[in-house]
Structure 1
Amino acid sequence: MPARPTELSPVPQHQTLEWHEGDMPYSAEFGDHFYCREDGRLECQHVFLGGNVVIARWQDSTDFTIGELGFGTGLNFCETWRQWKREGRDGQRLHFISFERFPMQATDIARALSRWPEINEERAALCALWPEQPTADVCLDFGDGVQLRVVIGPADARLGSMAEVFDAWYLDGFSPVRNPDLWSQDLMQSVFDRTRPGGTFATYAAAGFVRRNLQAAGFAVERRKGYGAKREMLSGTKPSA
């Protein structure tokens, strides 16, 4: 198993990628694929869009803010944006703020997302504006009220100082076993603190320590049926009072 980057070891600016099954990106640093091998786009629909019930919730919202831990290939953003456009939201705004310590290069994002023709339009728009080698936060405005901000660097060092309040969270870091820092109690507390009352999270992860950290932060957590080979996933809500 490749060693997980730590503060005591050199941290690459970009991940070392391997490509499995054609266009399936694999992180050599974390020893993990970027999404499930069955179908990452359908997993996004089931886990993140479904687990947060975002399509129903953003119906009456003028501004809806989604936070994400682990931007990766941008798949979750592109699929969320596709669903947003299908609803025809005139005058409404979608803010998608993602945290990514190891941003991918534009050519790699394009390759990874090319396996889904359903998001060709979103992939092309993202890659046209994405810096070839990001070294600082990426802020993109796609028009029609859709804005993307990718915060580059360790999430635990950036989230606590942010002013934004989030309606929903996509917790999509690498496997908790291989990347425990992105599932720590301190970070889950920061996620909870920056979530508006009644806001939600969803994640493919169902590890016991992840569930306990989310509960300790204050979320009401429930187990749900996972996608594909995953037996369970987690979702939850920040109590309104």
Structure 2
Amino acid sequence: MDGDMPFSTRFGDHFYAREDGRAETGHVFIGQNRLAERWGDGADMVIAELGFGTGLNFLETWRQWRLHRLPGARLDFVSFEALPMTADEIMTAIGRWPDLAPLCVRLVERWPDLTSTPVTWILDPQTRLTVVAGDALDGVTRWNGLADAWYLDGFAPARNPDMWSEPLMQAVFDRTQPGGTFATYTAAGWVRRNLQAAGFDVEKVPGFGGKREMMRGRRPD
């Protein structure tokens, strides 16, 4: 921890934006994937994520999903994480957002031993979470699902280039439904080129907080 901010000593980077990680989740991942709008259609959805981290993206998604979902719709959230945090570390990191606390408690009550993965559990009748521990490229390649939306949320590309490599971006594309989307806080040129080489249509849009730009994209139909 860096003060009250979770910080990775391995990658020399914070787990979320210093301004407000929760607002960043809303702007970058939920907003740029147009999730609230898509949930209003009542269809089931699969969201996949590179980097579970503190669980903030999942918890804020779960909170907003509960507000917008229609009866009978199902959300599968699948996250690939190399170095899972402990339940205590997750609770500490999420503690700055009291209204997420009840959901976080429900998450960590079931937080498993992630030495054997994937681990899947039902958090409510319309929400299922799967966490795949280990190398992201291996995990995504082995996954037999297809995502409707991706959260690309590894540490900064300059600090963790493997999380943004051309092979991994290709695996992400291959595990995306036609018409499926992605969003990421980064606008790094080489990441954009890797995403485009994989087959995504990519555009830059205004970033969160002090970031001028971020990227979102879509797999063509």
TM range (shorter): over 0.9
| Contact 2:39 2:69 (C-alpha < 8 Å) held by counterparts | no
In the TM superposition, what whole-angstrom CA distance separates every residue of 1:172-202 from its partner, at most 9, and x where no partner exists? 0000000000100010001001101110000
The alpha carbon displacement at 1:20 in A equals: 1.5
Matched, 1:97 2:78: yes
* 1:122 partner letter: L
**1:121 paired to 2:97:** no
Q: Which residue of 1 aligns with 2:116?
A: 136
CA distance in 2, matches of 1:83, 1:48: 12
Asked if 1 retains the 8 angstrom alpha-carbon contact of 2:87 and 2:111, the reply is yes
Distance in 2 (alpha carbons) for counterparts of 1:120 and 1:159: 30
Gaps of 5+ in 2: none
Query: 1:185/1:61 Cα in 2 relative to 1: closer, same or farther (>3 Å)?
Result: farther
CA distance in 1 between counterparts of 2:20 and 2:199 reads: 32
Question: How far apart are the structure 2 equivalents of 1:118 and 1:234?
Answer: 29
Indicate yes or no: 2:65 matched with 1:84.
yes
Residue pairs, 1:164-183, within 5 angstroms: 164-183=145-164
Q: Are 2:19 and 1:52 equivalent residues in the alignment? A: no
Contact 2:192–2:202 (8 Å) recurs in 1: yes
Distance 1:65 1:181 in 2: 24
* 1:88 Cα offset (Å): 4.5
* Deviation sequence 1:98-155 (CA, Å, 0-9, x none): 0000000000000000111131221111111113x53122312112210000100111
Q: Is the 8 A contact 2:204 2:216 kept in 1?
A: yes
The answer to whether the 8 A contact 1:90-1:144 is kept is no
Q: Which moved more, 1:117-126 or 1:28-37?
A: 117-126
TM-score normalised by L of structure 2? 0.97
Q: Which runs of 5+ in 1 are unaligned?
A: 1-18
- The residue type equivalent to 2:141 in the other structure is G
The residue identity in structure 1 corresponding to 2:3 is E
Corresponding position of 1:209: 190
Q: Which residue in the other structure is 2:2 paired with?
A: 20
Partner of 1:30: 11
**In 2, Cα distance between equivalents of 1:66 and 1:59:** 15
SS in 2 for 1:76: helix
The residue aligned with 1:72 is 53
Is the aligned partner of 1:110 residue 2:91?
Answer: yes
Amino acid in the other structure paired with 1:53:
R
Amino acid at match of 1:135: T
- Greater than 3 Å deviation, 4+ residue runs: none
Identity of aligned residues (%): 55
Q: Which amino acid aligns with 2:30?
A: L
CA contact (8 A) 2:39 2:70 kept: no
Larger mean CA deviation between 117-126 and 27-36 belongs to: 117-126
Where 1:108 maps in the other structure, the secondary structure is: helix
Letter in 2 for 1:51: Q
Aligned to 1:235: 216
2:129 counterpart (148, 151, 175)? 148
Q: 1:136 and 1:35 mapped to 2: Cα distance?
A: 27
For the residue of structure 1 that corresponds to 2:40, the secondary structure is helix
CA RMSD in angstroms comes to 1.0
Q: TM-score, normalised by structure 1?
A: 0.89
Q: Which amino acid aligns with 2:187?
A: A
Counterpart-to-counterpart distance in 2, 1:58 and 1:136? 32
Query: Counterpart of 2:191 in 1: which secondary structure?
Result: helix
